[in-house]
Structure 1
Amino acid sequence: MSEYREPAAAGDVIRLDSVSKTYRAGAPPALARVSLRVGTGEAVAIMGPSGSGKSTLLNLLAGLDRPSSGTVTVAGQRIDALGESALARFRAQHIGIVFQFFNLLDDLTVLDNVLLPAQLAGVPRRLASRRAEQLLERTGIARRWDAHPARLSGGQRQRVAIARALVNSPRLLLADEPTGALDTATGQEVGALLRELNAEGQSLVLVTHDPQLAERQRARVVRIVDGQVEGAGQAVAR
Structure 2
Amino acid sequence: MIEPVIELSGVRRDFVDGPAALQDVSLTVGAGEAVAVVGPSGSGKSTLLNMIAGLDRPDSGTVTVAGTRVDRLDEAGAARYRRHSIGMVFQFFHLLDDLTVLDNVVLPAEMTGTARGEARRRANELLEVLGIAGHARAYPGRLSGGERQRVAVARALMNRPALLLADEPTGALDSASGEEVKALLRDLHADGQTVVVVTHDLALARSCATRTVRIVDGRIASDTVHRPTVGSRRHGTAVEVTR
TM-score, normalization by structure 1:
0.93
Letter in 1 for 2:5: V
| Partner deviation per Cα, 1:203-224 (whole Å, 9 max, x = no partner) | 0000112222222214200000
Gaps of 5+ in 2: 229-243
CA distance in 1: counterparts of 2:198 and 2:75, whole angstroms: 25
**Higher mean C-alpha displacement, 209-218 vs 160-169:** 209-218
Instruction: Indicate which of 73, 98, 107 corresponds to 1:82.
Output: 73
Give the 3-state SS of the residue equivalent to 2:122 in structure 1.
helix
Letter in 1 for 2:106: L
Deviation of 1:98 after TM superposition, in Å, equals 0.1
Partner of 1:44: 35
Letter in 1 for 2:225: A
2:43–2:215 Cα contact (<8 Å) kept = yes
Letter in 1 for 2:144: S
Instruction: Indicate which of 85, 91, 116 corresponds to 1:100.
Output: 91
Runs of 4+ aligned residues of structure 1 deviating over 6 Å after TM superposition are: none
CA distance in 2: counterparts of 1:130 and 1:183, whole angstroms: 31
Instruction: Indicate which of 158, 168, 178 corresponds to 2:149.
Output: 158
1:218–1:237 Cα contact (<8 Å) kept = no
Deviation of 1:187 after TM superposition, in Å, equals 0.5
CA distance in 1: counterparts of 2:56 and 2:11, whole angstroms: 12
Partner of 1:170: 161
Partner of 2:7: 15
Partner of 1:110: 101
Partner of 2:224: 234
Letter in 2 for 1:142: A
Instruction: Indicate which of 119, 125, 128 corresponds to 1:134.
Output: 125
Instruction: Indicate which of 206, 220, 225 corresponds to 2:211.
Output: 220
Partner of 2:238: none
CA distance in 2: counterparts of 1:61 and 1:219, whole angstroms: 19
Give the 3-state SS of the residue equivalent to 1:132 in structure 2.
helix
CA distance in 1: counterparts of 2:198 and 2:81, whole angstroms: 22
Number of residue pairs matched by the alignment: 228
Instruction: Indicate which of 57, 62, 75 corresponds to 1:71.
Output: 62
Partner of 2:175: 184
